[in-house]
Structure 1
Amino acid sequence: MNWIHLDSEEKLAEATTASRTKPIVLFKHSTTCSISNTALNRLERNWKNEEVAGTQTYYLDLLSYRQLSRQIAENFQVAHQSPQVLIIQNEKSVYDTSHFDINYPTIKAEIEKLLKK
């Protein structure tokens, strides 16, 4: 996966703007949580860039950037979870899931639905 690391409000704003032209995937990760590590590893092992071409992937280290995590919850009106995946399209969260429900086939299917619109 080609992660873009979210480490500032400016990058979050850029990601939000990018969602106007393509879906973005945002992975919120707690680096000290075994469930979060498992979800991240499963996603990275199964991810195929060629199958979801045109999608940008963003990674947020929750422990280092707690304020950004709170801002994401507020901006996209989703409850904070960790780990959590959001798909953002047109500046709105159109899909979110967490913990062991994070899986590549479902995320890919959601992206494909958005790209067909």
Structure 2
Amino acid sequence: MKEIKSMEEWEHVRDQSKKEPVFLMKHSTTCPISAAGYRVFEQYETDFPKYFLIVQRSRRLSNEVESELGIQHESPQLFLLKDGEAVWNESHYGISQSNIKSAVEANG
């Protein structure tokens, strides 16, 4: 997993999703629900690249992701990006091994 912190890195992630599906997680370091979702995401084994951003450190970037994807901000929030767009997203306790697996199977 790699943390993204800049608009340039976000653009790289979106460009990469045009070649292969990628995951992006919005994570809050002060929220226990986000910590639980982060652990689930971190432990999920996949060949898809995995990225995350920390909302407190990258508020502007988090807002840009919300704007560009057209999906209201949640925290935690997990996206599966393909062709530069979110083809799946889930938040809070919806971030589970089984939901991630279903997203991978539907979009792999």
TM-score (norm 2): 0.94
For the pair shown, the structure with the greater C-alpha radius of gyration is: 1
Q: Distance in 1 between matches of 2:39 and 2:103?
A: 20
Q: TM-score, normalized by length of structure 1?
A: 0.87
Provide the aligned length of Structure 1 versus Structure 2. Answer: 108
Corresponding residue for residue 6 of structure 1: 4
Query: Which runs of 5 or more residues in structure 1 are unaligned?
Result: none
Q: Name stretches of at least 5 consecutive residues in structure 2 with no aligned partner.
A: none
Q: Once the two structures are aligned, what percentage of the paired residues are identical?
A: 28
Pairing of 1:57-96 with structure 2 (within 5 A) = 57-96=50-89
CA shift for structure 1 position 43: 2.8
Q: How does 1:1-117 map to 2 (within 5 A)?
A: 3-45=1-43, 47-48=44-45, 52-53=46-47, 55-115=48-108
Q: Which runs of 4+ in 1 moved over 2 A?
A: 42-45
The alpha carbon displacement at 1:56 in A equals 0.7
Quote the offset at 1:109 in angstroms.
Answer: 1.8
What amino acid is aligned across from residue 21 of structure 1 in structure 2? K
Report the aligned-residue RMSD. Answer: 1.0
Distance 2:89 2:100 in 1: 9
Distance 1:25 1:68 in 2: 16
